[in-house]
């Protein structure tokens, strides 16, 4: 049996509950006291894990040793098993077959490979859905889901949750103290809500608990509009149609509460039986940006966050993928796992091309640079049947390595060399981007222009921040902010009184808050704030939005930050205080906007608040961000890097680790501000690094500032 109290792993040395749901070290202020990590977090984070999803139930046991030997030779030290294996674990109701899983775990241990068990509840067996059809999900159009796929169940079904709790409890009793099992993944990629009658009743009861009276609900939702006033709770609809903004926002919040309680059902079953060192997570899909439920709420009770990192069609966009990685790290404000990574290509994109040679290695190291401590590929070996036969793998159906295997083998060797240097380090940033799910939902309900894509708007801010600082946090708008010098809130559409107090306190204590377009238009019920934008922050800003405009053509913008254009969306601002000054004005091109302020700024307390009312072109956006950072004293010692070079910095335990990746087609040279040790190549001391296309360097500096 393997034990975790050893040196880092290498391939050779250690090859119904629903209703209860609800850059450099900081300079400006000290961070809040950091709690000592739990045993489960210490298991998951603090070393490099390389793995794959393995499905032993699909193959003869005689094949297992060969597959695991290939994994060990590639440097793989962890596998995820079991998350789609319910019919193999319980082929008939009450008939449990756990022996094969125990043998698979033991065989993995003989090859120095640890195991994460996935609870199998994403794919219920046919005996369950045929004998108890009431657990099946109802689509928005009224059709009942059928067996033959996955996620055909209703997350809100009390009966389905009973079956889930039973199978998870039995697995936890059997494997909760197995020394070779290091963690658990609950379910798989939470996705589809249900529109059945039982879920509708739960929604209505959830609303009653939240509002208390129909009068309060009617007032919050402004139901006098179009005679929508409700006189009984059972009149409130549940559907996927556009409707009252307050109802739509409440439905998204209810979906979050539903999945949170679905997860809690399994979380309690696990924690009652597993060892403290075994961590619990769930893998979040949707390319990271899925918005039909709140990722911050779902990951809060888990030990670590995990997501599934796929590119799909095309090649790696390192700004987008880096932003999504930073977004994931912000869910719990700690390092995370990539539970599924793209092994070259997928089978669900419009064109399922392969990443370029070296692209998987670059993508893997990018994840590590942004805070991942584990990368597991999906999947190990091609299944002979099923819906994902064309999906990329590391080993083909014949059991022989695919061409990508050698690239993963190289990653395994590099992880072995770098694990000790990276252990105990995390990305650090002086700047943050703020995200709010209520704001995302509110804007998506009423976009006003099809061109307003919130992820693209976020990336407009992220790109210059990443170029200038090489370290960006993306966190909840309600996260602690005291240790950031500057925070940017690109689309903070919903600002309640309590959130306004949180942001005001940040500014008063010395922070710089930059609000983007559409900020503060709505309150917590998706009603218009009577102060106009930015709602309760108008007194802090000393100004407000006079009017907003969806643009059909760009408009000229110029001022202290430079000149360029605004596009997609524009707001005419009005200063209301002598201390509020104009940074940018609109030029000719749109008579409603000509000469009106496009960006204003006010010093307040020890800090400042800025409002940018339009989406700037890339050149002017870079200048605007650069000016804001310089005024706040934010700079990176690495300066501006050559085009196509991504730099990531992890700090901790008296060390600084820098990961450099060349995403461009040409060789590039990066000059370092100080000498650093080359972790991947015999510890050479370097003052500059030359990288070929898709090249990677991992550099270490001890006694980091």
Identify the structural domains of the chain with CATH numbers, from first to last.
Answer: 36-195+258-422 (3.20.20.80), 431-632 (3.40.50.880), 645-702 (2.60.40.1180)
pLDDT at residue 362 is higher than 60: yes
Q: What is the pTM of this model?
A: 0.93
- Which of the following is catalytic: 189, 193, 407, 626? 189
pLDDT at residue 129 is higher than 90: yes
- Which of the following is catalytic: 83, 340, 626, 700? 340
How far apart are alpha carbons 369 and 651 in whole angstroms? 11
pLDDT at residue 318 is higher than 50: yes
Mean pLDDT score across all residues of the chain: 93
How far apart are alpha carbons 604 and 580 in whole angstroms? 10
**pLDDT > 70 in the chain, percent:** 95
Q: For residue range 211-231, what is the model confidence (pLDDT) as tens digits?
A: 999 999 999 999 999 999 999
How big is the CA angle at 431 (ends 429 and 436), to the nearest 5 degrees? 115
**pLDDT > 90 in the chain, percent:** 91
How big is the CA angle at 486 (ends 302 and 533), to the nearest 5 degrees? 90
How far apart are alpha carbons 26 and 509 in whole angstroms? 14
Q: DSSP string spanning 140-179? A: TTSPBP-SSSS--B-TT-HHHHHHHHHHHHHHHHHHTT-T
Q: Answer yes or no: are the C-beta atoms of 79 and 115 closer than 8 Å.
A: yes
Omega of the bond prior to 240 within 30 degrees of 0, cis?
no
* Nearest residue to 37 via CA among 296, 373, 356: 373
Beta bridge partners of 655: 652, 702
How far apart are alpha carbons 20 and 209 in whole angstroms? 10
pLDDT at residue 252 is higher than 70: yes
Token pair in block for residue 196: 């059945």
pLDDT at residue 357 is higher than 70: yes
Helix (H) or strand (E) holding 500: helix 497-508
Q: Answer yes or no: are the C-beta atoms of 342 and 392 closer than 8 Å.
A: yes
Q: For residue range 556-610, what is the model confidence (pLDDT) as tens digits?
A: 999 998 999 999 999 999 999 999 999 999 999 899 999 999 999 999 999 999 9
pLDDT at residue 27 is higher than 90: no
Beta bridge partners of 280: 184
Reported for 130-135, long-range contacts at CB under 8 A and 24+ positions apart, including other chains, are: 131/93, 132/159, 132/160, 132/163, 134/159, 135/159, 135/160, 135/163
340 classed as catalytic = yes
Phi, psi (deg, nearest 5) at residue 3: -130, 150
Secondary structure of residue 647 in the 3-state scheme = strand
């Amino acid at each position: 049996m393997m034990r975790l109290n050893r040196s880092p792993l290498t391939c050779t040395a250690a090859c119904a509950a629903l209703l209860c749901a609800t850059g450099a070290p900081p300079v400006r202020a000290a961070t809040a006291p950091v709690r000592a990590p739990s045993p489960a977090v210490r298991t998951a984070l603090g070393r490099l894990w390389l793995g794959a999803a393995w499905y032993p139930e699909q193959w003869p046991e005689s094949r297992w040793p060969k597959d695991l030997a290939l994994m060990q030779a590639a440097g793989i030290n962890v596998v995820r098993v079991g998350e789609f294996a319910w019919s193999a674990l319980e082929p008939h109701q009450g008939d449990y077959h756990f022996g094969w899983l125990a043998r698979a775990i033991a065989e993995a241990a003989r090859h120095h490979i640890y195991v994460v068990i996935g609870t199998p509840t994403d794919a219920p067996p046919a005996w369950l859905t045929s004998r108890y059809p009431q657990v099946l999900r109802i689509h928005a159009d009224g059709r009942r889901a059928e067996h033959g796929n996955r996620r055909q169940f209703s997350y809100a079904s009390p009966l389905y949750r009973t079956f889930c709790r039973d199978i998870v409890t039995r697995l936890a009793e059997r494997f909760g103290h197995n020394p070779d099992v290091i963690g658990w993944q609950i379910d798989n990629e939470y996705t589809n809500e249900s529109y059945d009658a039982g879920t509708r009743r739960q929604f209505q009861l959830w609303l009653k608990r939240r509002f208390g009276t129909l009068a309060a609900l009617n007032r919050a939702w402004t139901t006098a509009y179009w005679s929508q006033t409700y006189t009984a709770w059972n009149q409130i609809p549940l559907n996927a149609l556009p409707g009252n903004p307050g109802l739509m926002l409440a439905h998204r919040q209810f979906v979050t509460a539903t999945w949170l309680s679905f997860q809690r059902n399994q979380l309690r079953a696990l924690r009652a039986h597993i060892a403290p060192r075994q961590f619990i997570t769930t893998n979040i899909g949707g390319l990271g940006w899925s918005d039909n439920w709140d990722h911050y709420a779902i990951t809060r009770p888990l030990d670590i966050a995990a997501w599934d990192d796929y590119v799909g069609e095309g090649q790696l966009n390192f700004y987008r993928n880096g932003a999504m990685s930073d977004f994931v790290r912000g869910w719990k404000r700690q390092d995370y796992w990539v539970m599924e990574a793209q092994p070259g290509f997928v089978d669900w994109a419009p064109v399922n091309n392969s990443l370029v040679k070296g692209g998987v290695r670059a993508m893997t190291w990018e994840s590590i640079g942004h805070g991942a401590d584990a990368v597991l590929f999906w999947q190990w070996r091609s299944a002979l049947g099923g819906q994902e036969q064309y999906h990329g793998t590391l080993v083909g159906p014949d059991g022989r390595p695919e061409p990508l295997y050698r690239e993963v083998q190289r990653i395994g060797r590099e992880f072995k060399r770098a694990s000790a240097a990276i252990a105990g380090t995390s990305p650090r940033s002086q700047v943050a981007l703020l995200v709010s799910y209520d704001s995302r939902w509110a804007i998506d309900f009423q976009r006003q222009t099809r061109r307003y894509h919130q992820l693209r708007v976020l990336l407009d801010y992220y790109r210059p921040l990443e170029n200038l600082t090489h370290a960006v946090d993306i966190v909840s708008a309600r996260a602690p902010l005291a240790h950031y010098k500057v925070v940017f809130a690109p689309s903070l559409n919903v600002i309640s009184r309590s959130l306004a107090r949180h942001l005001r306190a940040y500014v008063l204590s010395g922070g710089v808050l930059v609000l983007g377009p559409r900020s503060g238009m709505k309150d917590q019920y998706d009603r218009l704030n009577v102060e106009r934008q930015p709602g309760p922050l108008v007194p802090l800003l000393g100004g407000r939005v006079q009017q907003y405009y969806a643009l059909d053509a760009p408009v000229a913008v110029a001022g202290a930050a430079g000149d360029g254009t605004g596009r997609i969306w524009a707001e005419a601002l009005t200063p209301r205080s002598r201390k509020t000054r104009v940074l940018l004005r609109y030029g000719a091109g749109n008579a409603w906007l000509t000469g009106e302020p496009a960006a204003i700024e006010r010093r307040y307390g020890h800090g400042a608040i800025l409002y940018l009312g339009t989406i700037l072109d890339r050149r002017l956006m870079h200048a605007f961000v650069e000016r804001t950072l310089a005024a706040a004293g934010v700079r990176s010692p690495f300066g501006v890097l050559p085009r196509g070079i991504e730099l990531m910095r992890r700090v901790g335990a008296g060390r600084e680790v820098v990961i450099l990746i060349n995403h461009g087609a040409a060789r590039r040279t990066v000059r370092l501000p100080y000498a650093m040790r080359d972790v991947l190549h015999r510890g050479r001391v370097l003052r500059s690094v030359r990288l070929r296309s898709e090249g990677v360097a991992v550099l270490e500096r001890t006694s980091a500032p």
